[in-house]
């Protein structure tokens, strides 16, 4: 298995290298090898040379400049990485006749839509540069399916969390702050709701696409199908960590949406996807993992 990443300092490169080392150990235990290539997907010539040498059967495109708030501050970077980078990978994947191209998209493409549950057929209404870039990547993916006959799938992830998660997310920040005797910080009034999806369920959905072609050309929600308010999330983490204080509230951030909730009917029908990890269980797992790994995993606190 080959992994391409540019180790962008969007968050700690040290943390990323630790993640890489741990993933190498996991691969070795299963009798596999992890070939890491330090490369930016916007560098087309070098990327083309490397990927054509590897010639993978399946391309799992997880690379992106993440972060809604970051994209509001710098709208150019996510456009360059998430649109141009995706286009580079699609072109190369088409040329090597990959069996399938799986694109990691985002629930952010829906924006603020007035729906209880988000269905894939809903009209997208992105409200941040990041969301626009992810929707554009989806459209390019669909075009390569139609024009170049490259088997493609878009997976719209709903707020992924779990061990080794991106450090500047609500759950990682709440847990680290509480365990360091600091109040979890909530942006806005905390009444926003989110569909949090445990990493194991995300991985399971991706692995399903190694064994079926029923989803080719499709865009599919991958979420838990349940929602929780940010206030309630903070209270759960406060209780589970034993923190004795209360959350602190800061100004709402531009580009954030008020509500997300996945309808996973299509995922269940096409790839037999059924989320297994409830939010309380997932939080417990992350807290336990954090306690065991806090010497090197240090979210923003």
- Write down the domain spans for the chain: 2-293
pLDDT tens for residues 158-193?
999 999 999 889 999 999 999 999 999 999 999 999
Q: For residues 192 and 229, is the Cβ–Cβ distance under 8 A?
A: yes
Between CA 143 and CA 155 the distance in angstroms is 16
Known catalytic residues are 130
The token pair that represents 92 in the structure block: 């190369």
CB-facing half-sphere around the CA of 137: CA atoms within 13 A: 36
Q: What is the pTM of this model?
A: 0.95
Q: What is the mean pLDDT of each run of 10 residues along the chain (301 residues)?
A: 92 88 87 92 98 96 94 95 98 98 98 91 95 98 97 98 93 96 95 97 97 94 98 98 96 92 98 97 97 83 58
Say whether domain 2-293 belongs to CATH 3.30.70.20.
Answer: no
Q: 249 - beta bridge partners?
A: 186
């Amino acid at each position: 298995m080959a992994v391409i990443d540019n180790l962008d300092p969007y968050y700690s490169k040290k943390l990323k290298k630790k993640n890489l080392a741990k993933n190498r150990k996991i691969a070795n235990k299963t009798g596999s090898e992890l070939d890491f290539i330090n490369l930016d997907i916007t560098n087309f010539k070098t990327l083309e040379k490397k990927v054509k040498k590897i010639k993978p059967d399946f391309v799992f495109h997880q690379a992106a400049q993440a972060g809604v708030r970051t994209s509001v501050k710098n709208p150019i970077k996510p456009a360059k990485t998430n649109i141009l980078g995706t286009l580079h990978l699609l072109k190369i994947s088409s040329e090597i006749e990959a069996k399938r191209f799986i694109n990691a998209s985002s629930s952010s493409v829906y924006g603020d839509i007035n729906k209880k549950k988000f269905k894939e057929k809903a009209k997208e209404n992105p409200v941040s540069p990041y969301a626009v870039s992810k929707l554009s990547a989806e459209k390019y993916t669909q075009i390569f399916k139609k024009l170049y006959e490259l088997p493609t799938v878009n997976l719209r992830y709903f707020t992924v969390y779990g061990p080794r998660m991106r450090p500047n997310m609500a759950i990682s920040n709440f847990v680290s702050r509480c365990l360091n005797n600091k109040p979890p910080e909530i942006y806005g009034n905390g009444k926003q709701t989110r569909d949090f999806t445990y990493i194991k369920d995300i991985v399971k959905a991706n692995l399903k696409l190694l064994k079926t072609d029923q989803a080719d050309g499709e865009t599919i929600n991958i979420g838990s199908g349940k929602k929780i308010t940010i206030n309630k999330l903070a209270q759960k983490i406060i209780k589970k960590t034993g923190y004795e204080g209360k959350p602190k509230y800061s100004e709402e951030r531009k580009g954030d949406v008020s509500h997300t909730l996945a309808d996973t009917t299509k995922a269940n029908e096409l790839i037999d996807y059924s989320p297994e990890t409830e939010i309380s269980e997932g939080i417990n797992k992350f807290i336990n993992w954090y306690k065991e790994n806090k010497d090197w995993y240090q979210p923003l606190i």
